[in-house]
Amino acid sequence: MFPFFSYKTFFFLLLSFPVFPARTFPDPLTELTVDVRNSTWHDFGKFLDAGKGSEVTGMSELKKYFQRFGYLRPTPEMNFTDFFDENFESAVTIYQKNLGLPVTGKLDSDTMTQIVSPRCGVSDTTHSLHVTRHYAYFYGEPRWVGSSPMTLTYAFSPEDMINYVALPELKTVFQRSFSRWSSVIPVNFTEAKNYSSADIKIGFYRGDHGDGEPFDGVLGVLAHAFSPENGRFHFDAAETWAVDFKTQRSKVAVDLESVATHEIGHVLGLAHSSVKEAVMYPSLSPRTKKVDLKIDDVQGVQALYGSNPNFKYSSLLESDISSSWGLPLERRSSKWGTSLVIGVLILSLCL
């Protein structure tokens, strides 16, 4: 689906004070993706530390990645060159700032590690820079409107489901995912019997399924959800969805609960966060579980809907606050050697 290395690519924002405005994104659709391995990845090392004025064979393909996610404007017939020019330097700099990376304007180790990491497929089309990096909203900050406490209904497609996960087990996964969000905001989620009348419609689809955002097969795009009050919530049926990694041994298995929890955030109106520990951060590795809301997730959704009157910050969230204070950006920087090893390990999962 992505115009980067045969269009098969990457998987599926530091803690700040809630008084700062969240970033907004104009795209109403979000997609969670996972990395797809191919031999081209092994050539990524040649881009390491490339900067303005350099010319490296294959950089034109790398520029397609930046164009896909909104950092470079489309060129006639996608005629990118291998030259690291001023426009590409600007794109790299904005990319680094948006993803909380050290800002060097070069393809340093942290930037290359992020590029080869699994990530969401939504285009980062807002280029304005912000001092703070945290939760974000879609353009216009859409939200579900109703009296508080609000009740939203959800239902599963009668035809478009997966058959290797028992329906009761699958429903339990979604109940847990919805309950995580309802525990922090005055919004309840109830399963509806009538699919057509439900606020949130959940289904598993393959390829072109009529919403203008076709899935691309195993890995690549995992799922997508639309902003309020659309309610469409789609998973790629070609993936190997897991509810228990002990029983699902596939190396490319994707945790259903993690993706469901992430996408519910989008259904509620949250865009992606720059806080790497947050549920709403756009990356998720195969065989990884990431379901617990962090303070950034909570602050973002409560800014839209208010707080559940029974909500209290747990020790986990309090720990999340304290551990984020005074953490220098440099301490979060990884070395290319270490990152490369991690990257190879991730890649080996899917080979």
Which residues contribute to the annotated binding site for Ca(2+)? Answer: 199, 216-217, 236, 239
> Of 291, 277, 287, whose CA–CA distance to 177 is shortest?
291
Residue whose structure tokens are 């794109």: 91
Residues in the chain: 351
Question: Is 143:269 a contact under the CB 8 Å cutoff?
Answer: yes
Annotated binding site for Zn(2+): 120, 209, 211, 224, 234, 262, 266, 272, 280
Annotated binding site: 120, 199, 209, 211, 216-217, 224, 234, 236, 239, 262, 266, 272, 280
Q: What angle do CA 247, 279, 303 make, to 5 degrees?
A: 145
Q: Given 263, 277, 318, 330, which residue is catalytic?
A: 263
Per the annotation, the verdict on 159 as an active-site residue is: no
Rounded-to-10 torsion of CA 80, 86, 92, 96: -170
Distance (Å, whole) CA 163 – CA 166: 7
Distance (Å, whole) CA 35 – CA 54: 27
C-alpha to C-alpha distances, 176 to 15, 109, 180, 188, nearest whole angstrom: 25, 37, 6, 12
Q: What residues act catalytically?
A: 263
